[in-house]
């Protein structure tokens, strides 16, 4: 079996480590490029959301590299994600691809389902091998999140442009190559030290902007035209509302073991504006905006794929949140036609607005 899965930020580093520790050959799709986007858009329905198009592009490029089995996550609720496993299978079969698809459905409190699907992918293994693989994968996931948080905090203070990104990329590579949780911890520690030494004074007051929106668009830099890096290089401290390890803990671990309570905080924060689940991250988008306003951040940017229903609902409510709580909010709706230059122009205009609003507040 040569296994592949779609890219989502740096998730592939942890997932590859997990599967390889279980003795499975992993064929990663190459990092996304315009070709990935073109392949995906050409073979997907026009009004499908960007994550589906990017996934199709990833799968086609991985199949070209020799992958024969695709794993993807399923979903429930009003969002289209729940249909995407089947839709993607039909698209790929329709263009003559030869592969096996395994859709990992949300466990909904049924650990037996997860283990059955895990056995289907990995074959029977010793429990100790699963424990070791999960420990390694989890250590990489949490290390990547810590590294990303630090990069977002330090980038506005870097000595010369690109220093933080350079140290960040080099550390990611070392985390990827690490063969044990101990090596992961040491790679992270060295990377954090390298980032800190690349910065001048880090106590000056910089504007803070929160990034909210659909999980794929927030986490995948190619899809969001690298907005975090661009904002950091403009001197903005970026606060991201979703990290991979939090997402896995909330939507996978707590869904498998229902004795662990899911956080009710997003619903409590969003309640004055949105009081029920609308699929995707609609509620979290509103909740994080409220949270960022209460924390005193200077602005919020919502990133959403064109035609994403949960984010359209949130987008309609955000002007009211912005008015009530006095925080500037901008929505970026992106699809395969979005260009980095267009996004940069909008970011520059928003950062100017945020700086003016900071000055007038003071
Ligand atoms: S949340 Fe939106 S973008 Fe994500 S899969 Fe659902 S409809 Fe598509």
Q: Measured between alpha carbons, how far is 295 from 18 in angstroms, rounded to an integer? A: 36
Other Cβ atoms less than 10 A from the Cβ of 72: the count is 20
Mutation choice for ligand 1 from 308, 312, 315, CB with most ligand atoms inside 8 A: 308
CA 128 / ligand 1 centre spacing (Å): 36
DSSP letter for each residue of 340-352 = HHHHHHHHHHHHH
pTM of the predicted model, to two decimals?
0.93
Encode the chain (362 residues) as per-residue pLDDT tens digits.
Answer: 899 999 999 999 999 999 999 999 999 999 999 999 999 999 999 989 999 999 999 999 999 999 999 998 877 778 888 888 889 999 999 999 999 998 887 777 777 777 777 777 877 678 888 889 999 999 999 999 999 999 999 999 999 999 999 999 999 999 999 999 999 999 999 999 999 999 987 777 899 999 999 999 999 999 999 999 999 999 999 999 999 998 888 877 777 666 566 677 888 999 999 998 898 899 999 999 999 999 999 999 999 999 999 999 999 999 999 999 999 999 999 999 999 999 999 999 999 999 999 888 77
Q: Which of 72, 285, 310, 332 to mutate to test the pocket of ligand 1 (most atoms within 8 A of CB)?
A: 310
Decide if 268 contacts 239 (C-beta within 8 A): no
pLDDT at 113: 75
CB 241 within 8 A of CB 233: no
Residue to mutate (ligand 1; options 6, 77, 106, 216; most atoms within 8 A of CB): 216
Closest residue by CA, ligand 1 atom 5: 81
**Residue with the nearest Cα to atom 2 of ligand 1?**
308
The response to whether residue 53 sits with its C-beta less than 6 Å from ligand 1 reads: no
Q: Is the CB of 6 under 6 A from ligand 1?
A: no
Cα→Cα distances 312→167, 285, 333, Å: 37, 11, 9
Phi-psi region of 225 (alpha: psi -120 to 50; beta: other; left: phi over 0): left
Q: Are 292 and 239 within 8 A, CB to CB?
A: yes
How many Cα atoms within 13 Å fall on the side-chain side of residue 306? 13
pLDDT for 259 equals: 59
Determine which residue's CA is closest to atom 3 belonging to ligand 1. Answer: 308
CB of 314 closer than 6 angstroms to any ligand 1 atom: no
CA distances, 69 to each of 5, 97, 99 (Å): 9, 11, 5
| Candidates 1.25.40, 1.10.260, 3.40.50, 3.30.110; CATH matching 2-125 | 3.40.50
User: Which CATH number, 3.40.50.300, 3.90.230.10, 3.40.50.11900, 2.60.120.330, labels domain 205-362?
Assistant: 3.40.50.11900
Cα(306) to ligand 1 centroid in Å equals 9
- Summarised one tens digit per residue, pLDDT across range 33-80 is 999 999 999 999 998 999 999 999 999 999 999 999 999 887 777 888
Residues 6+ apart with CB under 8 A from 174: 187, 190, 191
Cβ partners under 8 Å of residue 171, min gap 6:
147, 187, 188, 190, 191, 192, 194, 195
Q: Which residues fall within 8 angstroms of residue 303, CB to CB, at 6 or more apart?
A: 211, 212, 213, 214, 217, 218, 224, 227, 331, 332, 334
Q: Which two tokens stand for residue 7?
A: 């890219």
Q: Does ligand 1 come within 6 angstroms of the Cβ of 304? A: no
pLDDT at 116: 77
Atom 1, ligand 1: which residue's CA is nearest? 280
Under DSSP, is residue 324 helix (H, G, I), strand (E, B) or coil? helix
* Nearest-atom index, ligand 1, CA of 217: 3
Ligand 1 pocket member 188 (CB < 6 A):
no
Residue in this structure with the two tokens 């699809």, named with its chain if needed:
335
Ligand 1: which of 311, 313, 332 to mutate, most ligand atoms within 8 Å of CB? 311
Check residue 145 and give its pLDDT: 97
Cβ of 335 below 6 Å from ligand 1: no
C-beta of residue 80 within 8 angstroms of C-beta of residue 50: no
Token couple for 213: 């929106």
Q: Is 335 helix (H, G, I), strand (E, B) or coil?
A: coil
> Containing H/E element for 170?
helix 163-177
80: Cβ below 6 Å to ligand 1?
yes
């Amino acid at each position: 079996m040569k296994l592949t899965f779609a890219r989502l930020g740096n998730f592939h580093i942890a997932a590859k480590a997990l599967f390889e520790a279980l003795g499975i050959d992993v064929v990663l799709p190459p990092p996304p490029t315009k070709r990935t986007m073109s392949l995906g858009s050409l073979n997907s329905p026009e009004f499908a959301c960007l994550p589906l198009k990017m996934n199709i592009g990833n799968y086609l490029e991985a199949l070209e590299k020799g992958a024969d089995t695709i794993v993807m996550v399923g979903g429930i609720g009003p969002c289209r994600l729940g249909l995407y496993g089947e839709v993607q299978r039909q698209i790929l079969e329709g263009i003559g691809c030869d592969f096996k698809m395994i859709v990992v459905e949300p466990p909904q409190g049924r650990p037996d389902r997860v283990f059955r699907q895990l056995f289907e992918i990995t074959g029977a293994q010793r429990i100790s091998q699963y424990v070791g693989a999960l420990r390694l994968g989890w250590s990489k996931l949490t290390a990547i999140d810590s590294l990303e948080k630090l990069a977002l905090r330090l980038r506005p203070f870097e000595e010369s442009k690109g220093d933080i990104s350079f140290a960040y990329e080099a550390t990611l590579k070392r985390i990827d190559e690490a063969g044990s949780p101990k090596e992961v911890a040491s790679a992270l520690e060295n990377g954090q030290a390298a980032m800190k030494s690349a910065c001048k004074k880090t106590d000056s007051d910089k504007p803070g902007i929160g990034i909210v929106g659909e999980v794929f668009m927030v986490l995948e830099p190619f899809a969001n035209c690298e907005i975090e890096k661009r904002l950091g290089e403009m001197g903005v401290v970026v606060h991201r509302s979703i990290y991979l390890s939090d997402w896995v803990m909330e939507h996978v671990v707590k869904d498998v073991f229902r004795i662990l309570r899911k956080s009710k905080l997003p619903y409590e924060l969003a309640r004055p504006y949105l009081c029920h689940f609308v699929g995707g991250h609609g509620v979290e988008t509103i909740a994080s905006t409220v949270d960022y306003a209460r924390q005193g951040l200077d602005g919020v940017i919502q990133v959403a794929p064109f035609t994403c229903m949960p984010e359209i609902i949130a987008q309609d409510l955000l002007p009211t949140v912005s008015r009530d709580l006095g925080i500037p909010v901008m929505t970026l709706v992106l699809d395969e036609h979005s260009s980095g230059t267009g996004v940069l122009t909008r970011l520059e205009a928003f950062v100017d607005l945020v700086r003016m609003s900071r000055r007038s507040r003071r």
